[in-house]
Amino acid sequence: MRVWLLIWLMVAGPVAAQSLTIATTGTFPPYLFEDGDRPSGFDIDLMDEICAIHRFDCAYVIYPLREGLEAVANGHADIALGGIGATVEREVYGSFTCPYRTSGSSSTPIFARDPDTDLSAARIAVMADTQSHAALVAEGYDAVPFVDLESAIRSVLEGDTDAYHGNTNSLPLVPGAADQLTIVGHIEDETGGGVAFLVSRSNPRLLAILNDSLGMLARDGQLQDIADIWFGEGGFAPPDDMSVTCGAMLARR
C-alpha cells in the first residue's frame, strides 16, 4: 500500500529528523481525546500516519483551544489539531491545510436535565471559542463558555447552568450525563471552510508536505479507513480530491 509513498519520499527528498511540536486543542470527540498519558482520536491517528511516513519526531502538547491556536501563532507549536474548523477568523493564527472534512453545516443539539427548559431564558454551557459557542452567540442565546467540554457538561448536571450545547459524542466524557440529559433543541453550526490542521505561517514547506500527504492518504483510501474507525462506516466521507477543498479555501481568501 505504501510503495508509492516511499517512491514519493525518494523524489521529494529526505525530511528525516525534523522535530514537530503539535498542539492539541481540547477533547473534542471523536477528533481528539485528551485522556491518559497520550491523546487519541481521529486527528491523532491521521497525524501519526503522516509523522510515520515522513519520519517526523512528533510531540503532542495539550492546550485549551484558544491557547493551542495561539501556540502556533507565537511559534511555540508547529501544528494545532483537534477537529478545528477552518474559519476565516482563525486564519490570524496560521495557515490551514486543505480541509480533510468539507464545509457545510450540522445540526448540533442542546441538552438539558429538564425537557421543558425554556432556551430563550436559559444559561447554556458551551466549550469556549468553538463554532458552537459562536453559533449560540449569533442566535442571541445566553452562552456560558467553559474551557473544556467536561466542565460545560458538569455545570448542567450540578445546576450551575440550564443547558449544554455540544455533540452527542461528548456526553460519555462525564459519567451519567447521557442518562440525565435530554435533547431540548438544535442549532445549526457552520463548519466554515471545513475541518483542517492549523500550521505555522513561518513554515510553508511543512504546510506543503501536509497537504501532499493528506491528498495521498485520501487517494489511497487510508484517510477513509481512519475515519471509519472513529466515526463508524458512513460517518463521513473524506474528499477524494484534496485539490477541490484547497481550491474552495483559496477562493475565499
- 82 and 200 belong to one structural domain: yes
Task: Grade residue 238 by pLDDT with cuts at 50, 70 and 90.
Answer: confident
Q: Please name the residue that has the C-alpha cell 491557547.
A: 67
Query: In the prediction, which pLDDT does 103 show?
Result: 60
Domains of the chain: total: 2
| Dihedral (CA of 44, 46, 52, 58) sign | negative
Examine the fold and report which residue of 190, 210, 241 is the final residue of a domain before the chain moves on.
190
Q: What is the mean pLDDT of the chain?
A: 88
- Name the nearest CA neighbour of 214 among 202, 229, 233, 227: 227
Residue 6 has pLDDT above 80, yes or no: no
- 186 and 197 belong to one structural domain: no
> Rounded to an integer, what distance in angstroms lies between the CA atom of residue 72 and that of residue 113?
38
Q: What angle do CA 147, 150, 153 make, to 5 degrees?
A: 105
- 81 and 109 belong to one structural domain: no
Examine the fold and report which residue of 190, 222, 243 is the final residue of a domain before the chain moves on.
190
- 138 and 19 belong to one structural domain: no
Is the distance from CB of 213 to CB of 54 less than 8 angstroms?
yes
Residue 209 has pLDDT above 60, yes or no: yes
**Residue range 50-62, pLDDT digits in tens:** 999 999 999 999 9
* Distances from the Cα of 209 to the Cα of 157, 169, 188, 216, angstroms: 44, 31, 33, 11
Domain that holds residue 136: 105-190
Which strand ranges, in their side-by-side order, compose the sheet holding 163-165? 142-146, 123-127, 163-165, 105-112, 182-190
- 89 and 43 belong to one structural domain: yes
Query: In the prediction, which pLDDT does 36 show?
Result: 74
Residues pairing with 142 in the sheet = 123
Q: Which residues are within 8 A (CB) of 186 and not within 5 positions of it... i.e. 6 or more apart?
A: 107, 108, 109, 110
Weakest-pLDDT range from 17-21, 192-196, 217-221, 230-234 = 192-196
Residue 215 has pLDDT above 50, yes or no: yes
Task: Grade residue 248 by pLDDT with cuts at 50, 70 and 90.
Answer: low
CATH number at residue 132: 3.40.190.10
Examine the fold and report which residue of 190, 211, 235 is the final residue of a domain before the chain moves on.
190
* Distances from the Cα of 203 to the Cα of 110, 146, 216, 218, angstroms: 39, 32, 20, 23
**Residue range 116-150, pLDDT digits in tens:** 999 999 999 999 988 889 889 989 999 999 999 99
Please tell me the pTM assigned to this model: 0.82
The average pLDDT across 169-177 equals 95
**Residue range 70-104, pLDDT digits in tens:** 999 999 999 999 999 888 889 999 999 999 987 65
Integer-rounded Cα Rg, in Å, for the chain is 19
Is the distance from CB of 165 to CB of 132 less than 8 angstroms?
yes
Is the distance from CB of 214 to CB of 223 less than 8 angstroms?
yes
Residue 107 has pLDDT above 70, yes or no: yes
